[in-house]
């Protein structure tokens, strides 16, 4: 092989660049956000908090497909409480403040959800009605 002397330094530089984000922050992503819980003391949700943290987007995509593609608008019943399938009908009925609830975790994880391209938060709905 040609340039045998460049392989080891090249690998060292590659490993340094590839691992830089991890050791630069001391293997810490910072304090975990604490989203503001819904007002009114609502204790139940469609799923437990741990499941919602990890799987809420998957659940919303499944609901979207069931409602829009299959016409399945059957409500979800959890602990005797009925939730209509949808971001605005189920989630936003309790979690009314996008900034204090949704955006705190999405900013922490650097996720830019496309939900808000179509859906309006309750505050946006009120503002839109006031303009009319």
Helices and strands (DSSP H and E) totals, the chain: 5, 2
- Is 67 a member of any domain? yes
Per-residue pLDDT averaged across 117-125, rounded? 81
Per-residue pLDDT averaged across 19-47, rounded? 82
- Is 41 a member of any domain? no
The residue behind tokens 């910072």 is 30
Range of the domain at 55: 47-114
Whether the predicted pLDDT of 1 surpasses 70: no
More confident residue, 93 or 111: 111
123 vs 105: CA distance, rounded Å: 19
Q: What is the pLDDT of residues 53-64, one digit of tens each?
A: 999 999 999 999
pLDDT score recorded for residue 66: 93
Per-residue pLDDT averaged across 29-40, rounded? 83
- Is 130 a member of any domain? no
Q: Total domain count for the chain?
A: 1
- Is 57 a member of any domain? yes
Q: What is the pLDDT of residues 65-104, one digit of tens each?
A: 999 999 998 888 888 888 889 888 888 888 888 888 899 9
- Is 99 a member of any domain? yes
- Is 91 a member of any domain? yes
**Both tokens of residue 4?**
């045998």
Q: Are 82 and 75 in contact (CB under 8 A)?
A: yes
- Is 104 a member of any domain? yes
């Amino acid at each position: 092989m040609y340039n045998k002397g460049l392989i080891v330094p090249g690998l060292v530089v590659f490993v340094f660049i590839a691992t830089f984000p991890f050791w630069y922050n001391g293997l810490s992503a910072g304090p975990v956000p604490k989203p503001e819980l819904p007002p009114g003391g609502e204790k139940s949700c469609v799923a437990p908090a741990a499941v919602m943290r990890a799987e809420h987007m998957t659940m919303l995509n499944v609901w979207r497909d069931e409602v829009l593609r299959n016409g399945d608008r059957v409500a979800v019943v959890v602990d005797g409480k009925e939730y209509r399938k949808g971001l605005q009908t189920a989630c936003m009925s309790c979690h009314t403040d996008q900034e204090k609830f949704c955006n705190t975790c999405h900013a922490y994880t650097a996720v830019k959800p496309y939900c808000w391209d179509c859906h309006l938060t309750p505050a946006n709905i009120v503002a839109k009605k006031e303009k009319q």
